[in-house]
Amino acid sequence: MSTTPWVTWPALTKFGTIGIFGGLLVLSMERTELLNNNMFDVEDWDRHNADITCDERSLTARTEDGTCNILDNPAEGSVYTRFGRNVPLEQTYAETENDTLLVPNPREVSNVLMARGDTMQPATIVNFAAAAWIQFMVHDWFDHGPRMDGNDIVFPLPAGDPLGSGTMSVQRTQPDPSRTLAEAGRPATYQNTNTHWWDGSQIYGSDKETSDRVRAFVDGKLKVDADNTLPTEFLSGKPITGFNENWWVGLSMMHRLFTQEHNAIAERLKQSYPDATDQWLYDKARLINAALMAKIHTVEWTPAILDNPVLKRAMYANWWGVGGDQENREFFQQALDEMANNIEGIANLFTLLGIDADIANMEPGVIDHALGGLVGSRAPNNYDVPYTLTEEFVSVYRMHPLMRDDIEVYDVGSNVVSERIAIPDTRDGDAEDVLDSVGADRLWYSFGITHPGALVLENYPDFLRNLSMPLIGNIDMAAIDVLRDRERGVPRYNDFRRAIGLKPITQFEDLTSDPDLLANLKRLYNNDIELIDTLVGSLAEETRPDGFGFGETSFQIFILNASRRLMTDRFFTTDYTPEVYTPEGMAWVEGNTMVDVLKRHHPALSGALVGMDNAFKPWGLNMPAEYESWSAEQKQMHLWVNGAVRTEYSDGELPAQQDVDIGGLISSVLWDKVKVESDVAPAGYEKPIHPQAVMGRVQFNATSGHGFTGLFEGAGHGLLRLSITGDPEERGFAPGLALKLFVDGQPSRNVSALYTLSGQDSNYNFFANELSNYVSPEANDTLGSTVLFSMVTTKPTRLMVNAFAEVRENGDEVASPKAPTQIYFVPNSALTASLPSEPHDFRESLMTLTEGTKLYDVYATDVAIRTSIFPSLNNRLANERRNSARKVGELTLTSDLIASQFGDSGVFFKHQRYEDR
């Protein structure tokens, strides 16, 4: 038996696929346990049901207040019904001032254990959009409503508090108005003031009045202003939407996006069903939009923040399951078979890892559930406990440390902070102003590339610990978060773990190894582990399953509720069908991701999102398996925006010029250079020569009638890298270029060109001379590159351009390719005349060249390359070839030239050898 208090299933992943299935099985067994033991209902449903009639519309539409989802218990999950519990009711008595409500002092917990100080600990596995998203979701799921007036909870400010001496007071949670006398003496209950369902109520509201306020009543749409933004409340300036509390710009972004998405869905439906009523279109668009959000949360947000192979599969299974006709279901059907066939192997692994699981006596259906999936085709199943969210669920979503202190604003594609906006300056009525003045594209990009705070102790932003609330004054969210759990009878950490099937910890050291934190925990909790608050213990958990952004205690509650809100909902089970959603609606939900939604409403982000399969992971250069199949433009923009522009050096940060690394010119690097077909350098590849460069997007405008084929006939999407061989002070100024032209669905074509091997001495004008794909071998080749390249080719000073002639940009093969033998990049004479030839950093002068500048005329000849050992004859042959060359086109910048880390070391240009022509 294992002695660690922590779950051991994460160790299974190191056993590959079978281990992952084992992990899934453990999670499924845990969920079954939780479903059997950890759902407690505290509502009197009959009382609610008495007033509800489910009309015809409610059979195929979500109602405003969440009633009539479960037709034989129509109040289930509706607004103003009580939160249920995940721990036995006798453990849910509230703490009071007479006992432990104020022990330890919540403000001291905040000061000592929660305060972030000056430096945020980031959660680098996700981006800041993930923080705004989860608050957006939480506002769909639950709220306890406005706090109670009078009879505040009051406690002293601890000694040395930055707020001085005196007291802090916190309003109590609004009591449940539906309590009856008969319930006196039972644990307190609270009502959810939003519907419990995953129904988009943060957008659509949880009652008819709110719903009417947000609707346009035309073509099923939601109300937007002429500029497609949300109307705002006159006094507060906050958007008019389903739920607009605790507002800041991150919520403005989410609400605007999914309001626009609703309207896009309604438009799509209107096309197919032109005669449909506004009500019908609205109802369908809501169903579809809500399901899309639920799917995004299940298969994108969750696997981003719980980045673990077991979890990813579990979440995919939650959404797609098996047995249906979606492509993903087939994958899971196979997995299901494989798992059933491997039960013995999995059981052995469990024994090995001391996982306490009785596979032999497993409940029927556990395997099926592990991969069976909850969405679609199954009947809703509430395991005989009416569906509600729970106080414990609310508790684990207290994720306030996710908030940053400020927003770093970046221009799309840039990695240079252009402005910082403190989050408090984006709150309430300021949110829409910030969104409009900064611009939604820039804000989304900025959220995409920056991180939220990590869900750990000592990471509450200061602004949330001193939060000004209209009409209330300043509050401390960290103190409140701790206090609310105590007030609402959420057990303390160790009891909480015991109650949900986890092992209790036995010492403070189980939580953390940080000596200062340990000392503070012990002091505050008086050395009593049983006193640790659930939120504190959860944030303190240092041992977390690989890739997990939060710990296992919160996760246990999540396993249960994340599944339950899908498996109990008629619109995610029996009625998740083309009949109810429409075929267009099903396709919309299944066929779209958060990336698609962002691209639809923010086309300017397309470049930044190319290659991203999960919008909540930090946006960056990501080369997905299908990269090669993309269009030339997509590939160009991906490398440009996510590669070069993102890693552009800021002013004054150009790395010093390096010299050639002769030792690095080993044969493996050279072989890579001629063999690897890739636009990005293979792992570990370092450019031993031409280490520094500027790069820009280019197009090749062909002159007509030159007779060369394929890309020589013109290409709109290329990258041009301009570099020098090494440090010019060491070996003279030796300019060179690398050109990459992209092809739809096929590998790019690449060529490099030099003036001569040894360069142009002390002339630092990059455009002083023509460059070519063939240079004469030189007696004085100090670098010895001829000799070195001879290791991999018989013609070390010659690169081929045949591959350019074989294909057109659209991917069409050329039947009879015709390629030049030699091409010449002839500098634009205006540039030759204007660039300095005195010593300077060549990158500085090249970076003055902007989009639209013609850089080179390109000349080409098909005269065979013949050489001679007699220099004079050699020169004559070269001159003859040059004289025979005719202009085939021009190379023009379609962006500015910039210097970037990606341009220096990330991008890769294959050399086509003579042997590979």
Applying CB under 6 A, the residues found at the interface with ligand HEM are 131, 134-135, 138, 142-144, 147, 246, 248, 394, 397-400, 402-403, 423, 467, 477, 480, 484
Query: Which of residues 101 and 423 has its CB atom nearest to ligand HEM in the complex?
Result: 423
Q: What is the DSSP letter of 87?
A: S
Query: Which of residues 141 and 640 has its CB atom nearest to ligand HEM in the complex?
Result: 141
Contact 775, 757 (CB under 8 A): yes
In the complex, the smallest distance separating the C-beta of residue 608 from ligand HEM, rounded to whole angstroms, is 23
Packing angle of the helix pair 278-296, 249-272 (nearest 10 deg) = 130
Amino acid symbol at 601 = H
Task: For residues 554 and 705, give the distance between their C-alpha atoms in angstroms, rounded to a whole number.
Answer: 69
Among candidates 560, 580, 583, which has minimal Cα distance to 572?
580
In the complex, the smallest distance separating the C-beta of residue 403 from ligand HEM, rounded to whole angstroms, is 5
Packing angle of the helix pair 440-449, 430-438 (nearest 10 deg) = 90
Would you state the structure tokens that stand for residue 346, as one six-digit string? 């999995």
Catalytic residue list: 139
590-602 burial, b for 16+ CB within 10 Å, e for fewer? bebbbbbbbbebb
Query: Which of residues 80 and 742 has its CB atom nearest to ligand HEM in the complex?
Result: 80
Write down the residue that tokens 């001879």 correspond to.
790
Q: Are strands 771-772 and 822-827 parallel, antiparallel or unpaired?
A: antiparallel
- Which CB contacts under 8 angstroms, 24+ apart, belong to 52-57? 57/279, 57/283
Query: Which of residues 399 and 698 has its CB atom nearest to ligand HEM in the complex?
Result: 399
Query: Which of residues 190 and 902 has its CB atom nearest to ligand HEM in the complex?
Result: 190
In the complex, the smallest distance separating the C-beta of residue 233 from ligand HEM, rounded to whole angstroms, is 17
Alpha helices in 732-861 (DSSP H): 785-789, 802-805, 829-834, 842-846
Amino acid symbol at 631 = S
In the complex, the smallest distance separating the C-beta of residue 402 from ligand HEM, rounded to whole angstroms, is 5
In the complex, the smallest distance separating the C-beta of residue 296 from ligand HEM, rounded to whole angstroms, is 16
Query: Which of residues 359 and 435 has its CB atom nearest to ligand HEM in the complex?
Result: 435
Write down the residue that tokens 């707020």 correspond to.
163
Among candidates 765, 766, 762, 763, which has minimal Cα distance to 753?
766
In the complex, the smallest distance separating the C-beta of residue 520 from ligand HEM, rounded to whole angstroms, is 24
Query: Which of residues 403 and 823 has its CB atom nearest to ligand HEM in the complex?
Result: 403
Would you state the structure tokens that stand for residue 81, as one six-digit string? 């019904």
Alpha helices in 476-551 (DSSP H): 477-487, 493-499, 515-524, 534-540
Query: Which of residues 131 and 878 has its CB atom nearest to ligand HEM in the complex?
Result: 131
Would you state the structure tokens that stand for residue 513, as one six-digit string? 């190894």
In the complex, the smallest distance separating the C-beta of residue 251 from ligand HEM, rounded to whole angstroms, is 8
SS3 of 410-478: ECCCCCCEEEEEEHHHHECCHHHHHHHHHCHHHHHHHHHHCCCECCCCCCECHHHHCEEECCCEEECHH
Query: Which of residues 169 and 381 has its CB atom nearest to ligand HEM in the complex?
Result: 169
Give φ, ψ of 255 to 5 degrees. Answer: -65, -40
Instruction: Collect all residues with Cβ–Cβ distance below 8 Å to 218 and sequence separation of at least 6.
Output: 278
Task: For residues 565 and 387, give the distance between their C-alpha atoms in angstroms, rounded to a whole number.
Answer: 8
Task: For residues 225 and 348, give the distance between their C-alpha atoms in angstroms, rounded to a whole number.
Answer: 62
In the complex, the smallest distance separating the C-beta of residue 674 from ligand HEM, rounded to whole angstroms, is 51
In the complex, the smallest distance separating the C-beta of residue 135 from ligand HEM, rounded to whole angstroms, is 4
In the complex, the smallest distance separating the C-beta of residue 400 from ligand HEM, rounded to whole angstroms, is 5
Query: Which of residues 560 and 799 has its CB atom nearest to ligand HEM in the complex?
Result: 560
DSSP string, 26-67: HHHHHHHHHHHHS-B----HHHHHTT----SGGGTS--TTST
